[in-house]
Amino acid sequence: MRPTSPPLRLIVRHRRLLAALLAATALWCATLAVRPQPTTAVLAAAHDLGSGPLTTGDLTTVNLPTTTIPDGAIRPGTDVTGRLLAAPLRRGEPITDIRLLGPTLVDAYGPGMRATPVRIHDPATASLLHPGDTVDVIGTTTQWDDTSAPASPTVIRSLKVIATPKPPTDQLTDAGTLIVLVTTPDQATTLAHAATTSRLSVTIHGRAG
């Protein structure tokens, strides 16, 4: 019989060791594949939410893979009860700072801008509004005599809607519906003055697409 060559004898001699090493390597790779990813706790919507003030029942804590958490996600322990949600959220969607009405959201529209609450007279019109809509604010005077018809001049044109809060049903009034617009400080002053002498309403610009 032809003698076995030295390299072949070496492989045969250590085949059990090689098999054990290969099995250990496969097990290590499998362990890495199924190892759970690190998670981080964040606040999320407990159910589908419309824009408006947040309550304790609107919030829940979820643990998400750390690599998937969006920037600005709100962590448990942060008090956001009563803050205004600027746009609707689906159940389980993380709540981020940009979703809450406040400096972070308003700053996206430019330095020095303000979030200005405006009460409009017609709730049906308010129900058609969504964050991001562009509106003109119209003021119908509440002070006129018998010889003149009420005037309805445009107060300010092309303002962005930033939130359309939905108040609790036990807080509904006949005073109109609140919306929040992005304005400059001067525009906020103009709207506040117009609200004292006029019933405010809005017309909605056409939506693109």
Q: What is the pLDDT of residues 10-28, one digit of tens each?
A: 555 667 677 777 777 877 7
- Comparison of pLDDT for 128 and 4, the residue scoring more: 128
Of 130, 121, 129, the residue nearest 155 (C-alpha): 121
- Tokens, residue 31: 């362990």
**pLDDT, position 63:** 94
**pLDDT, position 81:** 85
Q: What is the rounded CA–CA span in Å between residue 137 and residue 129?
A: 13
Q: Are 49 and 57 in contact (CB under 8 A)?
A: no
| Identity of residue 58 | D
Of 205, 200, 202, the residue nearest 133 (C-alpha): 205
**pLDDT, position 177:** 87
**pLDDT, position 101:** 78
Region 29-50: what's the mean pLDDT? Answer: 82
Three-state secondary-structure class, residue 165 = coil
Q: Write the pLDDT tens digit of every residue in 147-183.
A: 555 567 899 999 999 888 765 554 445 667 889 899 9
Q: Write the pLDDT tens digit of every residue in 60-112.
A: 999 999 999 999 999 999 988 878 887 788 999 999 988 887 777 787 788 88
Three-state secondary-structure class, residue 27 = helix
- Tokens, residue 199: 């019933």
pTM of this structure: 0.58
**pLDDT, position 146:** 58
Summary mean pLDDT of the chain:
81
**pLDDT, position 208:** 57
191 pLDDT above the threshold of 60: yes
